[in-house]
Structures are given as C-alpha cells and as structure tokens.
C-alpha cells in the first residue's frame, strides 16, 4: 500500500513546527500510522549537512554550494526515510521540502527556479507531495520575533529584503505549480491554523 506525503512550507517563523506537533497529537488520537520529519535534515547524513548549511561561521558558502547541499540532503532523505515510509503505507509529514529550495535558493538567492529545480529533480525519484500546506504570513513580522529572541541561524540572519524575495518567490511558485498546494492563513490563532490544516489533511486521508 502507498502512503501519503504531506509537506509544510512557508517563511521562517511561520509556525510550522508548532502546528506539526499538534498534527502529530491529532494523528495519534486517530490511530493512523505516520512519521514526522524535516528539511534540511531528517536523516543522520542530512542532519550533518544541515549543520554545515546553517552554521553562522560559513560566511563563504556560495549560493550554488548551498543549493547543492540542500538537494543532497533531500535526496538522502527520500532514499532513506520518505520512500520507505510511503512504501509501508505510512503518512509522511515533512517540515519543508523542494518548494523551499525553489523559493530560497531559486528566488531568494537569485539562482533561478528552473536551475534549482533541475538539480533537485536528479534526486527526487519522482516523489511529489500529495498535499503542500503553505503557511501564509508576512515574513518581516515573524523574523523580527525570531532574530531578537534567539539570534537566528545563517539563513534567518539574512536581511528583510532576502526574506521578502523568498516570500514573493513562494507566491510565484504557487501560481506556477498550484498542484496540491493549499494556503493556510498563518496570521490566525494556533487553534485556527491547526483547524485549517486538519481540514485539508482530512480531505486527502478520508
């Protein structure tokens, strides 16, 4: 049996991690088999790559290197975790997936959506999400909170202009590849954001 693949996308600090925990509670209550994972990371190799990418010391990292590292971590993620779980019939939730690379590296870093898509396609093995929940929120609002409270990692420390480009990139991508994308209004309360997410999840599960 084939499982379902659900990804969460959005600007930094859009509340995905909080909601994914609450979705886990919901799935546990329903007794449906699932796993939760994240990008970059999700596997031991991927977590090592994540540490390199997000390290504030790596100021010299080229945009192409960054894009290739994300794509490499993703390919390992698919090979080691996502495909096996889907083949076992599980529901897979991933905090970020390929749309993040298209928005952050393709548009944010200016590498071009098509170029970033082509390096990712090599490792994707035709895996495409059955549902993409896009957490829609003004990136400037959320970043202010995150960088003030925690200092922020290498990507979070990029200026507002970068994160504005990423957001606009997401908007462009959602128009270009609307397949399976559902927008979630992430300005609302946690409870409302969770409810909106569950409505969409139930549509593809039941």
Residue 31 beta carbon to ligand TYD: minimum distance, rounded to whole angstroms: 28
Beta partners for residue 33, in sequence order: none
Between 70 and 167, name the residue whose CB sits nearer to ligand TYD.
70
As measured in angstroms, the least distance from the Cβ of 4 to ligand TYD is 20
The structure tokens 């549509």 sit at: 203
d(Cα 146, Cα 152) in Å, to the nearest integer?
Answer: 6
Structure tokens at 40: 């970059």
Instruction: Return residues touching ligand TYD (CB under 6 A).
Output: 12-13, 17, 39-40, 70, 95-96, 100-101, 104-105, 153, 155-156
**CB neighbours of residue 161 within 10 Å:** 10
- Shortest distance, position 161 Cβ to ligand TYD, whole Å: 15
Nearer to ligand TYD among residue 33 and residue 96 (C-beta):
96
The smaller minimum CB distance to ligand TYD, of residues 30 and 154, is found at 154
- When the beta carbons of 40 and 129 are compared against ligand TYD, the nearer one is 40
Residue 153 Cβ vs ligand TYD, minimum distance, rounded to whole Å: 6
How many CB atoms are closer than 10 A to CB 132?
Answer: 25
* Residue in the shown chain whose Cβ atom is closest to ligand TYD: 104
Of the pair 12, 136, the CB lying nearest ligand TYD is at 12
Q: What is the DSSP letter of 103?
A: I
Report the distance separating Cα 134 and Cα 146, nearest Å. Answer: 19
Report which secondary-structure segment, H or E, holds 133.
strand 131-136
> Residue 156 Cβ, how far from ligand TYD at the closest point, in Å?
6
Indicate the residue among 17 and 118 with the shorter CB distance to ligand TYD. Answer: 17
Residue 89 CB, nearest approach to ligand TYD (Å): 25
Concatenating the DSSP letter of every residue in 25-47 gives HHHHHHT--EEEEESS-SSHHHH
Centroid of chain to Cα 95: 4
Which uninterrupted H or E stretch holds 99?
Answer: helix 98-101
């Amino acid at each position: 049996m084939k499982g379902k693949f659900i990804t969460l996308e959005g600007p930094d600090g859009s509340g995905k991690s909080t909601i994914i925990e609450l979705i886990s509670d919901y799935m546990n209550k329903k007794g449906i088999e699932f796993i939760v994972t994240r990008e970059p990371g999700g596997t031991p190799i991927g977590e090592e790559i994540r540490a390199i990418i997000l390290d504030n010391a790596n100021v010299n990292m080229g945009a192409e290197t960054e894009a290739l590292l994300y794509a490499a971590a993703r390919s390992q993620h698919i090979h080691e975790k996502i495909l096996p779980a889907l083949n076992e019939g599980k529901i897979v939730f991933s905090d970020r997936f390929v749309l993040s690379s298209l928005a952050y590296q393709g548009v944010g870093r200016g590498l071009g959506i098509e170029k970033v898509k082509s390096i990712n396609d090599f490792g994707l093995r035709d895996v495409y999400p059955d549902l993409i929940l896009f957490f829609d929120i003004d990136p400037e609002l959320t970043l202010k909170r995150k960088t003030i409270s925690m200092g922020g990692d290498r990507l979070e420390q990029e200026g507002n202009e970068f994160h504005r480009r990423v957001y606009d990139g997401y908007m462009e991508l959602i128009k270009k590849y609307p397949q399976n994308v559902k927008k979630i209004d992430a300005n609302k309360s946690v409870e409302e954001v969770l409810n909106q997410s569950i409505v969409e999840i139930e549509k593809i599960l039941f």
